[in-house]
Structures are given as C-alpha cells and as structure tokens.
Structure 1
Amino acid sequence: MVVQLSHRKSLRWVPGEPSEPTSTLVLDVGSYFVDLRILKSNGSIDWAMAGKRTILSESPQMKQRLSEDQVKCQWAKEICSQNTEAHDDIGEFEDLPNGDALEKGSMPNPDNNDEIQAYEEVWGGIDVPSSDEPAWILRSKDDNGITFVGKVGEYFQVLRKRGEGPFDALREQKEGDKWVEKYAVGEKLPSIKELGEGAFNTKSWRQDIDVEVAQ
C-alpha cells in the first residue's frame, strides 16, 4: 500500500517562470489523498481537495506509451474548494535527477480567467519515520458535510466541505512530543493536538470499515 507525504516546491504556468505562492502538503494512503494548498501571503485556502487517486500507467495502454520513469495519475475529487468535483485531474510524473518529481498537465489558471493552461509542478518527498502507528485517512459524511481526516507520520490534515459552499481546513504537525497547529481555516475541525493521539485508536481499524473517534 502506498504511504507518502509530498510537498510542492514550485508551480510553473507554461511559458512563465516557476514560483511557489503556497504551502502545499499532500497525504497519500493507499488510493486516497488529502491535498491542502495554503497561500503564504494571507493563510487562506488556495486549493483544497480530497478523494481517490488512480495510477493510470498501470494499464497496458499507458505502459506502452510512457517510459519506465514516467507515471500517469488521475485524481477523482469527492470534495474540492474550487467546486470542480465533476472534473477529474490528470497529470504525468517523471523523476528528476535530484530525487524530486516533475508533474506535467493542464488545468484552469485562476490568474488567467480560468483558461485551461499547461502547468509544471515540482514535488519533493517528506520522509515518513518508521513507526508502529499506521498511516490512515478517514472519511465521514453527516449533517456537517463531507470530512476527510488523515495522518501520515508527523503530519495531520483535515478537510471539510459544508454543502455547496464553505470549506474548512486544518493542518497540524508534530514537533518533538507536541502537536502544533500550522494552519486553520473556517469552522472548528477534529484536532489531534486537542484530542490527543489516543482518540484515534487504530488497533481495530481495517480498510473500508466504519470506525469511531473519541470526541
């Protein structure tokens, strides 16, 4: 099962120059992802989404077209702060000599009247320390909306979409033996800093089953 943490190092709208206006962190566990991009300038959400990822290059057709160091992925968004759930995102990755990954694709550019434009993103990996605690992503749907809660290594991230409108986000990081809030946008969300790691009793958890989280 894939377990990884990725942070974006730069975004380039072709043919422009690369920059990084956000603090972007993606949690991947199995086929699920939680992706939060916060603007450094004001701490607001640039883009936030969660759902399922499919590696398309596993298909025979893609293997014939792509080289061995290329991967093509599709992201089906169940919740999205930009309300583009109906449109899956597709990108192709290739390894860079320094160990980073270059993603290429096309998507609406909010700085260009949402015109579809080619982009390039450079992604770096974050080491996930060895631990007896598993990585996980939970999904819930109730009167509050649809919520994704994820923990990978020393990072904890929560996204919630309330109906068709407001979007809430939380990112916390473990520093030493304490969890520290890095970003919080919108209404209050489940916090590992406040609830403690014991609230997420993972010993009995299995994939695709209902679980309870202490409040």
Structure 2
Amino acid sequence: MVVQLSYRKSLRWVPGEPSEPTSTLVLDVGDFFVDLRMLKADSTIDWAMAGRRTILSSSPLECQWTKEICSQNTEAHDDIGIFEDLPNGDALEKGSMPNPDNSDKIQDYEEVWGNLDIAPSEQPAWILRSKDGNGITFVGKVGSWFQVLRKSEGGEFAVLREEKVDGSWLRRYQVGEKLPSMAELGEEVFSAEGWKQDTDVKVGGVTYTVYALEKA
C-alpha cells in the first residue's frame, strides 16, 4: 500500500503561468490523505483537506480525491488528476478543480510534485479520524512529519503541521484552535503499538478511528 510524502513545486491555472505561493505537504497512507497548503506570505490557510484517495487507473496513473473535510467547502466536488512522470523524477498532475481565485469556477490546472524521502523506521505511518463535539479531526504522521486538520461543527478550520528535527518536534504552521500536538504530547502518546486498521483507539483522551496504518 501507499506511504508517501509529497510537496508541491508549482501550480498553474491554465492558461496562466506556474507559481508556488504555498508550502504544500500531502501525507498519503493507504487509501487516505491529509493535504495542507499554507500561504507563504502570511502563514494562513490556502487550502486544507483530508479524505480518501482512489486510484482509478494505473497507466496512466489517475487518482480521485474524495474530501471528507475541506477548508474551501468543496466536499461535494471530487477532484480527479492524471499524473505524468517527468525526466527529473517529479510528477506532473493535470486535471480540473474549483479555482478560488476565479469565483470557484471549475478550471484546468497543472501541478508539479516532488517526493520527500521517508527514513526507515519501526514506527508505521498512520492516519486517524475522529468525530465528536469538536467536529471532524484528521491526524496523520508519516516519517518526520505530522499534520492535523479539524473542521468544527460551525465550519471553522484549524490546522497544525510539525516536523521532527534532530530528535525534537518543531511547529511549522498552526492556525485556529488548539489541536493535538506531537511536540506537546510526545511520541509515546501517539504510539501505534496495538493499533489495527478500521478499529477505534484512544489517544490523549480522544477516540479515533484508525483509517490507515502502513509500515513506512
């Protein structure tokens, strides 16, 4: 199954020019994803979403993303992209999706993606999901990266991204209400020992469903 860390290098709304105004990191584990795109200029949310990733075909690679939560409230619209391998090892994704800078009109896009290496580890990669009075929360960890996305019952969005550097978890981005943090709670709280996919686990006093659990 898939365990992948992807970062976006550029976005092009056809027929415009490519640019990259965001810091975008996607955690893929099994059939699920946690995708956080933060604007570099002011560290606000450009787009945050999480849900299921379905492979529609393998040649060419075509994927469909069904969003369970989305900061742009486009959960009703599944995104579909076709990937092409580039000579330098990057991937070119082409498709169509709502353009927030063009009144959410469906528009063709091209994105260039690179992959981050995942160091071998005994700790698996995972994505958890909870639904309670706080809304719907996705928590994901792949290698040295940790992301949390929450959409409240009222539609407000909160996000967190942390990275492990030299043995310590550092906060890279945080917006909105307080979220479960690897830096604050520690890795032992998020130990996946005994976890099984599609079962409920208790983490920091909160019940989550293990949506995806794969060896990194």
TM norm structure 2: 0.93
Matches within 5 A, 1:47-62: 47-58=47-58
C-alpha distance in 1 between matches for 2:136 and 2:17: 36
User: Deviation at 1:147?
Assistant: 0.2
Deviation at 1:201, TM superposition (A): 2.2
Runs ≥4 residues deviating over 4 A: none
Taking the aligned partners of 1:131 and 1:181, their CA distance within structure 2 comes to 22
Corresponding residue number in structure 2 for 1:175: 165
Matched residue SS, 2:188: helix
* Residue matched to 1:79: 69
Question: Which range moves more in the overlay, 146-155 or 84-93?
Answer: 84-93
- In the alignment, does 2:201 pair up with 1:214? no
Identity over the aligned pairs, expressed in percent? 72
Give the C-alpha shift of residue 109 in structure 1. Answer: 1.5
CA distance in 2, matches of 1:98, 1:150: 28
Q: Distance in 2 between matches of 1:54 and 1:116?
A: 20
- Residues of 2 paired with 1:191 and 1:112: CA distance? 35
Which residue, 96, 108, 112 being the options, matches 1:106?
A: 96
Of 113, 117, 134, the match for 1:127: 117
Q: CA RMSD in A?
A: 0.9
Q: CA deviation at 1:15?
A: 1.1
- Listed as ranges, the gaps of 5+ residues in structure 1 are 59-67
Distance in 2, Cα, partners of 1:74 & 1:115: 19
**Aligned equivalent of 2:208:** none
CA distance in 2, matches of 1:78, 1:113: 22
Amino acid at match of 1:13: W
How far did 1:33 drift? 0.3
> In the aligned structure 1, how far is the partner of 2:155 from the partner of 2:95?
27
Q: Please report how far the alpha carbon of residue 164 of structure 1 lies from its aligned counterpart in structure 2 after TM superposition.
A: 4.0
Superposition deviation, residue 124 in structure 1: 0.2
Superimposed CA distance per residue, residues 29-79 of structure 1 (whole angstroms, 9 cap, x where no aligned partner): 000100000001111100000000000005xxxxxxxxx4x2000001000
Unmatched runs of 5 consecutive residues or more in structure 2: 206-216
User: CA separation in 1, counterparts of 2:53 and 2:106?
Assistant: 21
What's the secondary structure of 1:98's corresponding residue? coil
Per the alignment, residue 33 of structure 2 pairs with 33
From 77, 80, 90, give the equivalent of 1:90. Answer: 80
Number of residue pairs the alignment of both structures matches: 205
TM-aligned CA deviation for residue 115 of structure 1: 2.0
1:113 Cα deviation (Å)?
2.1
TM-score, with normalisation over the residues of structure 1?
Answer: 0.93
Aligned amino acid, residue 105 of structure 1:
G
Residue equivalent to 2:143 = 153
C-alpha displacement of 1:163 = 1.4
Which digits, 9 at most, give the CA deviation of each residue in 1:90-136, with x for residues without a partner? 11111000000000011122222222211000000000100000000
Shift, 1:146, TM fit = 0.3
| Relative contact order, higher structure (CA 8 A, sep 6+) | 2
Deviates further, 200-209 or 147-156:
200-209
Letter in 2 for 1:51: G
1:201 maps to 191
For residues 49 and 23 of structure 1, the distance between their equivalents in structure 2, rounded to whole angstroms, comes to: 14
CA distance in 1 between counterparts of 2:65 and 2:107 reads 18
